[in-house]
Structure 1
Amino acid sequence: MTWPRGADERGTVTARPPSDPLIRLRDVTHRTLLVETTAASDANEVYERLRLQWGSVAPVDLEPGVPAWLVLGHDEAVGVLRDDRTFIKDPSIWHGHAENLLGPQSALHLVLPRAPKPTLADADGAKHARMRPPVDDALSQVDEARAAAITRRLCGMLIDRFEDRGRADLVAEYAAVVPFLALSELDGLEPGQAQRLQEITRAIFESGAAARERTVELLEIVTEHIAHSRRLGTRDIAGVLAVHDNFESDLERAQTLTAITLAANEALLAWIAQTLALVLSDPRFSNRVSGGRLHIDDALDEVLWRSTTNPNLMPRFATREVVIGDKLIERGAAVVVGVHAANHDPLVQSADPWDTVGNRAYLSFGAGPHRCPAPRLGRVIARIAVAELLQRLQVTLVGDPDKVEWATSPWMRFPARLPVTFPPPVSPPAPGAWPPGPAEFAH
């Protein structure tokens, strides 16, 4: 079967004559590991190498021996994201289950479960149409001014913790903490609950296959919070989800609240950390920001264009055979949309870097039914987190900027650590010391 989208004039997704050979995933023996695209010092080099070798769709391994298709072309990526009947989020149809491709210690068990979780992120069709409105309703009622005030307060609190020290890791001590605490407060969680959830979440991502055991405690906390919010009649995110009739159970509500919070946290962590890394490692960028010639929003946009926080989206699965270029996407195949590669597709990317300033035509917030539900709220949190740190501290990156170590997640791209130093705060003068205060000038 073919997948016509009327794009023949650009050579993107086309029907091919039956006589032309089609490339099948099973026939490719040497595949690039997906994590190479995110952990490389130059992600563009890896994506472009794949594009030159394979065209708009390339074979990759999610883990050694776990194959998937990686979509590199912009038009092809948009087509996959919008076609939620051909490419679905339900992993139960993935052919790898029948072939037992995942070993007992595989970290992909959470990404490729045998059955979909009852959450918006993994829903398709009518189920997704039922579960998306509650999330949109809950996020649309968030007061952006309140979200900004919460974020600013939390940023100040975190900076207070390391300001006197004169050094910090801006990933572990700042970028990884600000969004989680801000989102948790907007969810209506108490500080103690938020801290415990962050500890569990970190353990889940670090424990691979054993993570399923830790999700039990996480769901218990969130489910109880949903019920508590309903009893109190709160109007925070959890309170809106708690009373929305579109959900069939509190399990759906808890799973959805957890999923949107964790997904937003990961994306914001990467967005904040990458922006700070770019400002600290690129003098031209830093000078433009500090000199007022480039607004923080423009800096955030340049990160989404230039590097992308979520370079590879979680897999979708083909419900039928389709052809993209010379690749045969078989039913049950995992298909990963390479957002970074799509943003850098030569067919849509200008050679002039200034064309990206103020241009938000990137795919970093997704497209189609699963598009990010709260890009404005995310921007508020990221903007304040970056601005507060840059305005308050004169930070200098420790080490060679060209040797920043990137996290080994195949889905997100951010520095594994960002060690910086900065001058400690100047102690206030003792009473009576120079310079004189306003009262002394009055005399």
Structure 2
Amino acid sequence: MKEKKATTAAAPAAAKKRSGAAAAPASKKRESGGAGRGRPRKRARDDGDGDGDGDGDGDPPSHGDLISKLPDDILGTIISLLPTKDGARTQALARRWRPLFAQEAAQVESWFHSRALDGLQDLHIRFDLLDRRHQPEKRYPLPPSVLRLSSTLVVATISFCEFPKEIAPSVSFPLLKQLNLWRVSISEDVFRGVLSGCHVLESLALEIMGDVGCFRISSPTLRSVRLSACFPNKGELIIEDAPSLEKLVLSSSTNVRDNIRVIRAPKLEILGYLSPCISEIQIANLLFKSLTPASLKNTISTVKVLALEFSIPDLDDVIDVLRCFPCLEKLYVIYFRFLNIPLKENVHQYDPTDQVKCLETHLKELVLETYEASEQDVCFVKFFVLNAKVLKKIKFGVSEKLGKEWMADQYRLLEMGARASPDAQLEFLCRADVNPFT
């Protein structure tokens, strides 16, 4: 069956072009000279709302004003063809347009009853805010008719809306594999109900949610969870039972007061960003408080890829974290330089009797998103050059194209001639091409 797609944010480009072309002649001024020069023109009545027949400046009626004289049904159709945010802006045209956009929700409700959407697999629905400046938290109700498509959806992206307070237990999403919720208001009970109805869900993304302080996730099929600035205040994500979970991605904007708990995820391989900004994160018996391990005796052997975020590249903190992931193969580090902290003078002295297992037998790749070749940058990378025994590649995210002389200088500063792994190589990339999860 051919895949069907629908989106409320898509507007035909032709509609925009026709509207722009129609309005252009009205904006032209009469050329100087000729019999028409100096002839007085009647000024249209202006009531301050742009509802007159002219444009308020003495020009003849514009095509935009003529459009305003069309019947409501036709104007409503015009608005429905626009992206939601542009449809909302039509209210500023004149008083005549103001009640029309409010009818759009009813139109959307009717759209999803259309037989043309039977068998829909890919849904992207976005109710952009009517007025973000004055109503930043306003969200539109999700049309109940959307749920009639639940039996065929494979991918669903839902934004700027409010889920119904109650969803019938019979609602099921038997084919849904990917669910993305962004700026959605949903209660904990409704979220649990939606998730329990997703029988083959593999990917879940939550970003800037509302009306909930805790998300509990249990899914036998879920493989990827992505959380980004999810809670408006202090919040908690609890992954109770996810036997298939392989990837847990926490955005760099995760709230400083958030708590993350992963009770059971025996296949977790990709984890990040871990940051001191996260108040507490617990994975099985491993507990970090502001990224400081509560105990160095507890470890997780399944994690192969780890992303860390720091304000500065603190080598001692990184080494303590590495001790908790003995089978780590790829380490990704991002840091910011907005704090004025003195540089450390010496490279960390690695004690061979107190080995970090991943440096001895597993770590093959180190990635730094922001490398500026400062003294602290060099000290941080040089530690891995001199101590990671199976390292094969170090990738640097740089802000501009660099010359051969500069790169040769980096080889010297990083002491590549004394590298612990003879296979280790340096690679300098544009920062945009550096991604820990690819």
Q: TM-score range by the shorter chain?
A: under 0.3
TM-score by length of 2: 0.22
TM-score by length of 1: 0.21
Greater Rg over alpha carbons, structure: 2
Say which structure is richer in strand.
Answer: 2
